[in-house]
Structure 1
Amino acid sequence: MSSIEIVEHPLSPYAQKLKIALDEKGIAYSATLPDGIGSGDTPSLAGESFRGEVPVLRIDGHSLFDSAVILDFIEERWPDPALLPADPLARAHAREIEEVCDTHYEAISWGLGEIRFFGRAKGELADKMEAEAAAQIGRLNAWLETRLGDQDWFGGDRFGFADICAAPFVQGAAGFGNAPATGSRLESWLARVRERPSAAKSFAAAAAVAPSMTDVASLVESGLFKRQYRDHRLEWMIRTGGIEIVQAGLEKNNIRFNSEPS
């Protein structure tokens, strides 16, 4: 039997989707937190994650990084029960949902965390950015609802790949006060997701550690905890009015970007 470990943080939506997938397939695993997470220096991930980020999947002496790559591996390594639909076009649509959630949706929730947890913006700027984030989430939820249609699940009559990819992000946005519209089909979908043991387990683990995030604000301010501003996150921060946040982070050396492994 394979030994499977997910190196993660419970609040990471990328890690959450992997844990939900493994639990849906009935695959036992352990979940661990790496040393130095959030500091920009994670020696325990050296040679495993090109970006030094979680999640990482360890299995039988091998390791994989990037949640999209790992989720595909999980589906191919343990094909039963299948999470992806059989039809190639439906599979492509499921992966489109994963891509949008991993980039556009994640960036907004991450940005709200920068404001709420770490105090990157205050007063009028915070209010303005949070209002824009709420509007963005509303548009993304509306897009997801068009993909859901009249079905119970994105894949039709059973919970699957696209549901797993969307669930952590819609749940996370709801935690910031941006739940799906009342009476919407997406609201009903999220209620069904929360009833699934796999999702409930992952959401509970995230909820358990969320209060402790405010304790990290002082570490961010001191530069000991450096938040990752890569790719879509940096784009979101700038286009939502937070260019001064980026500039302040550079001055205080408490933000970081991608770098090649040494």
Structure 2
Amino acid sequence: MSQPKLFLHDHPASSYAQKVRMALREKGQQIRGLGEANPRMEVPALEDGDFKIFDARIILQYLEDKYPEHPLFPKDPRSRAETRMIEEVCDTAFEAINWGQGEIAWCERATGDLADKLNREATAQTKVICEWLTERLGSKQWFNGEKFGYADICVAPYVNRSCIYGNGPAEGTALREWRERVMQVPSVKQTTEEMLASTEKMKGTLKDVFKAGSGRRREYRDHRLEWMIKSGGLEVVEKGIKEDTIRFSWPGGI
């Protein structure tokens, strides 16, 4: 009996979705489908037959269980814990910074002095995270150890997105050298090219897509909301609520 096809509901610009795209490619699976299978109205979501899964971390864990012949997660407990910590920092703190800069650059939620202030905060905070990641990498070739794996998939989308905003790893650092290596991994290279093509199309369009009265709203979930407020953008949130151009997480916030 043939196995049911996997359908991925995603957007190539989403860092969370990029992780899943990379993992699927590493597992030798094709990427099929685009749509909605998540009550939280977020991407990515995965359909495996009649089974629907949301949240990038849960999807990656499911793929690791379903396709054990191509393991991405390290085996020893210490490395596994290190991988989980890297994923946590990237999925929350790093994602929020990149997302916040997207709100400024693409959606023009802030302009002038406020935009300058938020971008300065983003640059400073990205530097701290890149230094932390450099320490985690140490002298290893890969975050996963001797070969490319799960931890590298967790880092790549966020470092690549930071490079778009001019906040990539500093020259001469181990993280910069890692980024040059990881961009030669086929699953990362292809996924990143898809991301770049998608973001190029979005330039100059998102401001109108999410303007007041459009009926469309960007999600300000937990760590994103925290970043905008702590970095000095409370007025961005207040304006978004007033104009109904932002939303909060399910349930009750859709």
What is the TM-score normalised by the length of structure 1?
0.92
Instruction: Please point out which of 58, 61, 74 is paired with 1:69.
Output: 58
Q: CA deviation at 1:125?
A: 0.8
Is 1:246 matched up with 2:248?
Answer: no
Of 51, 73, 76 in structure 2, the residue corresponding to residue 84 of structure 1 is 73
Aligned-partner Cα distance in 1 for 2:241–2:210 = 12
> Which digits, 9 at most, give the CA deviation of each residue in 1:107-137, with x for residues without a partner?
0000000000010111111111101100100
Counterparts of residues 153-192 of structure 1 (less than 5 Å): 153-192=142-181
- What is the aligned counterpart of 2:18 among 7, 13, 16? 16
- Who is 1:217 aligned against? 207
Residue 59 (structure 1) aligned to one of 28, 42, 48? 48
CA distance in 1, matches of 2:201, 2:245: 19
Equivalent position amino acid for 1:215 in 2: T
State the Cα distance separating 1:73 from its structure 2 match: 0.5
Give 4+ residue runs of structure 1 displaced > 2 Å after superposition.
Answer: 222-225
Aligned match of 2:32 in 30, 33, 56?
30
In the TM superposition, 1:34-49 aligns within 5 A as 34=35, 45=36, 48-49=37-38
Determine if the alignment matches structure 1 residue 132 to structure 2 residue 121.
yes
What is the Cα deviation at residue 31 of structure 1?
4.2
In the TM superposition, 1:106-145 aligns within 5 A as 106-145=95-134
Which consecutive unaligned segments of at least 5 residues does structure 2 have?
none
Of 205-214 and 166-175, more deviation after overlay is shown by 205-214
Secondary structure of the corresponding residue to residue 70 of structure 2: coil
- Root-mean-square deviation (CA, aligned residues, Å) is 1.3
Q: 1:94 matched to which residue of 2?
A: 83
Q: Does structure 2 conserve the Cα–Cα contact (< 8 Å) formed by 1:3 and 1:29?
A: no
Q: Does 1:5 align with 2:7?
A: yes
The 1:20–1:31 alpha-carbon spacing in structure 2 relative to 1, beyond 3 Å, is farther
SS of the equivalent of 1:151 reads coil
Extract unaligned runs of 5+ from structure 1: 35-44
Residue-pair matches, total? 249
